[in-house]
Structure 1
Amino acid sequence: MSIYKDIQELLSAELISDNQAENIREYYRKKESQSGNKLFIVFGILGAILIGLGLILIIAHNWDELSRLTKTIFAFIPLLIGQILCGYTLMKKQDNVAWREGSTVFLFLTVGASISLVSQIYNIPGNLSSFLLTWILVCIPLVYIMTSSITSLFSIIGITFYACETGYWNHSSADTYLYWLMLLAILPHYYQLYKKRPESNSMIFHNWLIPISLVISLGTFSHSHDEFMFIAYFSLFACLYIVGNTSFFSQQKLRNNAYKILGSLGTLILLLVLSFDWFWDDLRNKIFDFNEVVASPEFIVSTSLTILAGLLLYLQQKNKRLLSIKPISLVFIFFIYAFISGLSSSIAMLLINFYVFAIGIFTIREGAKKDHLGILNFGLLIITALVTCRFFDENLSFVIRGILFVSVGLGFFATNYVMFKKRKNG
């Protein structure tokens, strides 16, 4: 490695001492070791996945020619191998992350394969949702027994698919609630990562998968009063955004802060979608029964998430100035007012357009104040997105649409020019 040659040159030039040189060498040796361990973990997990899939394919090739007893034996052999590997890891390789993750992932896959094979051999009735439920419930304990973050990630993907299967495709609302219980069962491992390995790749992947899973699965509450789910989603995105602005996440790189990204983008996308009149026109024509609405799952989850978002906002801002509040954090409150207004008036659409425009202006102001081109241009993109939506609005003439686009384009040039000139003079 060239760094060792550089160290030798520094020694020869007497710019560093022997002790300093040895400390530098030891630092880079540890860095190389950590990098090698990460690669070993990745290749170990990939190897476990490939071996598991390979065994399944080999058995599947001659499956029809085997007797029922032979099929049953083959169905349990991979599972037995996976258990032996995990047992060996617990006794001999407990501190080896590659062994721990690789053996657990192998066992996770073989559990699913064994369940499906036994069901096929003995013609056990069932569907995809019951298969996923059984598979994930059996494997969640592995997350804690083996301290396996990869198995945790696979479990999150599995329960999200289960929520979609039961909530969207089969509309079995009673089974959908099991998703939330299984997610709660995984959260303690997420907390352990936060306490022990907050900067690890496993933590970063969990930071992305958990909020994505929440966003996907929240819609499973929608049944007869789906209009109220917009309130629920605005409150959920507010919760994510507020969490993303906590001290822990704000210190991380933006690409690792999924809560802030999903919270802000989700809020803006919903606002842009609702900046058209189709939703509000449909809402004004709806007749709601108060008793039915209050008892509906949509209303209950919307109320619960709104209270949670309000509590998080209060905890974040209780010792801060009111002017420090991020505009996106308040959208869930403003939207409730717009929603109530939209029940009887067309002003709601105007309010939504005003919210988007105000967020864009505040973002541009923040970018200019911080001398940050990225934030400034993001604010301009918000306004551009709003203008683009209005381009498809049939109530505006082509002249007005053209003027709006020219104005935004000039705004891009002017603000960036002023910023660059400010930096050059500064």
Structure 2
Amino acid sequence: MDFAFDARTEELRARLLAFMDEHVYPAEAVAEEQRAALDSPWQTPPVVEELKAEARRQGLWNLFLPDAEYGAGLTNLQYAPLAEITGRSPQLAPTVTNCAAPDTGNMEVLAQFGNEQQKKQWLEPLLAGEIRSAFAMTEPEVASSDATNITTRIERDGDEYVVTGRKWYISGAMNPDCRIFIVMGKTDPDGADIRRQQSMVLVPRDTPGVTVRRAMRVFGYEDHFHGGHAEVVFDRARVPVTNLIGEEGGGFAIAQARLGPGRIHHCMRLIGMAERAIELMCRRAVSRTAFGKPLARQGVVQNWIADARVTVEQLRLLVLKTAWLMDTVGNRGAHTEIQAIKIATPRAVVAILDRAIQLHGAGGVSQDFPLAELYAAARTLMLADGPDEVHQRSLARRELKKYL
């Protein structure tokens, strides 16, 4: 076994770490101040565009996309430590390097399944960071953890599809730069194969019948820099049949192809969030005194920090192993490990953030530290891309199958 990163990864890590220190961390407070002064909280602060230009200039752009024709051409194993670094500032760093969800998954879908016209019209401006996008799958009226429950209809009418349905927690949809939705719905609701009933179509935001109704909050946070999480209504919205992605009945398979990399990207960034929490814990522990001695000398605080370090090291190794498997045997071959990290990482990072909040006292739940917002994001990932229990059920069935 060789645990060292290769030369290209090390070189990109050095550049990205310097970019974070010199540009991203100092811009966090600036971005908040600028956003507060804008006409709408959903507008992009000017400093974000400045950071995007600098990231492109430094070649820290589209690092997530393994297809060298469109992205940096990195393997999952090469990208993992870079995503971890951007996870330390999840509100800014993924966006300014054009590596933010849901755009990443949407670009992967278009690169893998889109036709030439779709790539020209939507993939190219997404790759350039000129527009944003959203992925409309989750619905409020059904248990969306089972994608076969989706009720949104995509009905063929001559040369058009008519899209009707209600979605919510559609990430990125509040951003005014969000120009395109990838919508999952049923083209064949009565089909014998429940995994061939769904299809995906491209629906431009300005299509008549599309209404972005409201922003959904997560523990009170609207997640402005991410573009929010919206409730979106499609009321007989019509698009050309050429907006179909792939083939009719292929939506479920495309969703699975999209969610595999998305799950590991989230876990990579979560490790960065945990590292940021540990750093804040240590700084707080050595700077505060209680009951006659520094917090850093309190046994319970030392236990929290030690446990957090052990946990992060374990998670990182599991995520790197998963990335390596995805590169060597494909997403199907790494299915068990993808599910394992999806279960383990958010749960563990939530626990680390909870301890960090406790150590910061009232400051931990305030807006003066990033911990509360990081907690909200990490806790959401126990639901996003499939709730933990769904992955536990599937993983357990795979394990039991060996004995049945």
TM-score normalised to structure 2 length: 0.26
**Bigger fraction of residues in helix:** 1
Larger radius of gyration: 1
Q: Per residue, is there more strand in 1 or in 2?
A: 2
Using the size of structure 1 for normalisation, the TM-score is 0.25
